[in-house]
Structure 1
Amino acid sequence: MNYFKNESDQILRFIIFFLLIPLTNLISASEFEVHVNKGANSLSVIQNSKIIKEYSISIGRGGIGDKRMVGDKKTPVGTYYVTRLKNSDKFHYFFGLNYPNLKDGFYGYKRKLITRDQFNSIKRASLNKITPPQNTKLGGAIGIHGIGKQTKQKLLIHKNINWTEGCIAVENHEVRELKKFIKLGTLVKIIE
């Protein structure tokens, strides 16, 4: 008996299968995890189920809710992993996340925001632990970064306003410190 008769059911089957594979097999080994609580504006570094460092953050100025599309200025909610590490003139340092992930791709495909080919590209990127397409209607370039050239005004804004386009921002000295904990494959869990 075939329980999955149409394309949507086949995609759902793939997602269910993907979620049943232990995440530890899909990402590079890292002794640390990063947990982001959007409501508390906090980022915690976790080791052996214990918080070892905590930082105040700014998130997307689009407010509460999950990121759904480019330009909504929301920080995504879900489980991601780090796929890019790079110096940034604009933000000091950038830890790129695998947004959009499979969940985000499925959402976008079901709502006709992305094509089947784009969804398949996101699927392949998830399986191969690489950066997914960044130029779809779902948006991209989501990560953890610093605030760039640090001024009193920028620090004041950072401490009082969620100002990013959807990323998670910490102060420059904090993003440098995070380089000790965050590597390619580090798990990043983002909750409301």
Structure 2
Amino acid sequence: MLLRRLSLTAAAILLATACAPGGHEPSQPYPELAGPLDYADLVLVKKSERRLYLLKNGKPLRSYKVALGREPVGRKQIAGDGRTPEGNYVIDRRNPNSRYYKALHISYPEVPDRIRAAQIGASPGGDILIHGQPSDPRKAKPYLQSIDWTEGCIAVHNREMDEIWLAVRDGTPIRIEP
């Protein structure tokens, strides 16, 4: 009975989040809502809006406020510049035991990114992720969506990362726009 109550509470939270301003109700519920999962076929990040959208056939399933790299304006050029990449990539793997709460790896750097960095004699960097809060509670950032704090990653709240984790399969394209 406790598990059922928890499931109903989780469902209520997910529905409230989906219907909140800026959110979108999914076309089909997530497994926690006892329905089939509607997978996103594109992840779209609009850096200027600080938003991540999960899309299916061009229609939004969900929308999330994000924190970006500490220097969010402009395309990532080199390791350590604090910028979030821009361009077309793929979610190529996942890490449930990341030092951040769940992590989806983005295929940055691609060949053009490597060429740009090589032209200035630098490393393009790597290990760009969509992730939740730091796993170490002492490093959690309660102001997560108020400032850009990552080294170039895209950060969301942990409960939102749970939804993204379920809706995005490995191989899903991700487009990161200015």
2:60 pairs with 1:51 = yes
Once the two structures are TM-superposed, the CA of residue 96 in structure 1 deviates from its matched residue by: 0.4
- The CA RMSD over aligned residues, in Å, is 2.1
Q: Return the match for 2:124 from 138, 141, 148.
A: 138
- Compared with structure 1, are the counterparts of its residues 91 and 107 closer, same or farther at alpha carbon in structure 2 (3 Å cutoff)? same
Q: Following superposition of structure 1 onto structure 2, how do residues 146-157 of structure 1 map, counting pairs within 5 Å?
A: 146-149=132-135, 154=140, 156-157=142-143
Q: Aligned residue for 2:110?
A: 101
Letter of the 1:175 counterpart:
M
Letter of the 1:58 counterpart:
A
TM-score of the superposed pair, with normalisation by structure 1: 0.67
Structure 2: gaps of 5 or more residues: 1-38
Once the two structures are TM-superposed, the CA of residue 68 in structure 1 deviates from its matched residue by: 0.4
Superimposed CA distance per residue, residues 78-108 of structure 1 (whole angstroms, 9 cap, x where no aligned partner)? 0000111111352110100111012202212
Q: Aligned residue for 1:78?
A: 87
2:172 pairs with 1:186 = yes
Superimposed CA distance per residue, residues 45-88 of structure 1 (whole angstroms, 9 cap, x where no aligned partner)? 00011111000000000130000001101000000001111113
Once the two structures are TM-superposed, the CA of residue 181 in structure 1 deviates from its matched residue by: 1.5
Whether contact under 8 Å (1:148, 1:172) holds in the other structure is: no
How far apart, in 2, do the equivalents of 1:111 and 1:148 lie? 32
TM-score of the superposed pair, with normalisation by structure 2: 0.72
Superimposed CA distance per residue, residues 121-178 of structure 1 (whole angstroms, 9 cap, x where no aligned partner)? xxxxxxxxxxxxxxxx111110100013486x94532121100000000111111111
Q: Aligned residue for 1:172?
A: 158
- Structure 1 segments (4+ residues) deviating >6 Å: none
Identity %: 30
